[in-house]
């Protein structure tokens, strides 16, 4: 397991390097192989604040999302839906989550977003 940096891109460590890009592509490959729509680095034993998401299952590359150093800024409401987990294949459970939330994160090229 790699040692975590406090904020991967905020500190500049690992920022926009070929190794980071290869790791992100490896994460997408692992996620697709498991037929998932999202994967966090911690799910594959890497202690970094990185997640990849693609609800198109690789069919629309422009919809691939990489988030680095994510933060939840605000939550509203509640909803319950069934979810699975790549860490426990075949397991599904009802999970309560926020209905709406505002999040902040960075993309691969150090741009910060809030949605």
Each domain of the chain, given as residue ranges in start order, spans: 18-114
Q: What is the mean pLDDT of residues 74-85?
A: 92
What's the mean per-residue pLDDT of the chain? 82
pLDDT at 45 over 60: yes
Phi, psi of 48 (to 5 degrees): -135, 155
Residue range 61-88: average pLDDT? 89
**Please, what sign has the CA dihedral across residues 68, 71, 73, 79?**
positive
**Portion of the chain with pLDDT greater than 70, in percent:** 79
Hunting for tokens 């459970």 — which residue is that? 93
Whether residue 14 is predicted with pLDDT greater than 60 in this model: the reply is no
Across residues 28-49, what is the average pLDDT? 92
Yes or no: say if 80 and 96 are a contact pair by the CB < 8 Å rule. yes
Residue 94's pLDDT is what? 96
Out of 3-17, 82-96, 98-112, give the one with best mean pLDDT: 82-96
Residues 6+ apart with CB under 8 A from 87: 43
Calpha distance 44→85 (Å, rounded): 12
Pick the CATH number of 18-114 from 3.90.45.10, 3.10.20.600, 1.20.120.430, 1.25.40.10: 3.90.45.10
CA distance 104 to 10: 13
More confident residue, 19 or 108: 19
Residue 58 has pLDDT above 70, yes or no: yes
Choose among 21, 26, 5: nearest CA to 69.
Answer: 5
């Amino acid at each position: 397991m790699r040692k975590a940096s406090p904020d991967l891109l905020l500190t500049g460590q690992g920022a926009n390097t070929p190794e980071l890009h290869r790791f992100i592509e490896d994460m997408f490959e692992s996620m697709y192989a498991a037929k998932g729509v999202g994967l966090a680095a911690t799910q594959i034993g890497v202690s970094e604040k990185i997640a990849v998401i693609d609800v198109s299952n690789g069919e629309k590359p422009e919809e691939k999302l990489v988030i680095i150093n994510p933060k939840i800024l605000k939550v509203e409401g509640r909803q319950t839906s069934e979810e699975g987990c790549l860490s426990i294949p075949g397991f599904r459970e009802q999970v309560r989550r926020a209905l709406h939330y505002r999040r902040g994160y960075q993309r691969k090229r150090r741009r910060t977003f809030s949605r």
